[in-house]
Amino acid sequence: MQEKHQHYLLFKPDGYVSQFVTNEPKGYKKKLLGEFHDFPEGIMAIGRLDEASEGLLLLTTNGKLSYYINSSAIEKEYFAQVDGIITEEAIDKLKNGLTLSNQGSTYKTKPCEAKKISPPDLPARRKNIRGDHHGPTSWVSITLTEGKYRQVRKMTAAVGFPTLRLVRARIGDLTIKGMQPGQVTPLPDLKNIVGFH
């Protein structure tokens, strides 16, 4: 009999690491994903969001499915609140690809979709972003089919507009619309949603 895997959507709040256990020194101080639900054994996050970032995480007990989603060209859309009013020139640079560094080597990002957007309707963060008296901010939507370590943050910084708040809003056709931070939604059939066979 084939093992029945389980899949979930999670709206990860800021301040949590995308893990269920940690071996880091002082790891006992970290807030882990297991706080949100009584997840089954073998559950894993498909891709990660860094501790300060928020938004959509897919969780599964199926390692092959996790590898497929991480390695295939499934779109991941991020909303980034950046320091300053982002320019069209900076948007064009984001779209065309940038040379970034990662652990001592450099790589060029693939061309992607990027556009300035109105402030999205998002739940409040656990920890506030700086106050308005520090100057104006703006929002940009960036849609990638890759996902290197802290890539969106590095991209906006490279064009002169550091990210203050980062929210993953969409993975493929799945979105955080209508979800609240910390909310867990079981997904009965993730394979068909992402085209995994």
Going by C-beta distance under 8 Å and a sequence separation of 6 or more, which residues neighbour residue 120?
A: 79, 139, 167, 169
Position 1 in a domain: no
Answer for the pair 167, 139: CB distance below 8 angstroms, yes or no.
Answer: no
Residues 12 and 43 reside in one and the same domain: yes
Position 2 in a domain: no
Q: How many domains does the chain have?
A: 2
Residues 122 and 188 reside in one and the same domain: no
pTM of the model: 0.91
Residues 88 and 105 reside in one and the same domain: yes
Residue 50 appears among annotated catalytic residues: yes
pLDDT (average), residues 69-75: 83
Question: Given 14, 38, 50, 173, which residue is catalytic?
Answer: 50
Position 84 in a domain: yes
**pLDDT tens for residues 76-130?**
999 999 999 999 999 999 999 999 987 788 989 999 999 999 999 999 887 777 6
pLDDT for res 103: 78
pLDDT (average), residues 19-25: 73
Residues 125 and 65 reside in one and the same domain: no
Q: Provide the residue range defining the domain that includes 180.
A: 7-72+175-194
Position 25 in a domain: yes
Residues 83 and 147 reside in one and the same domain: yes
What percent of the chain stands above pLDDT 70? Answer: 89
Q: Give φ, ψ of 101 to 5 degrees.
A: -105, 150
pLDDT (average), residues 31-36: 92
Q: Which amino acid makes up residue 124?
A: A
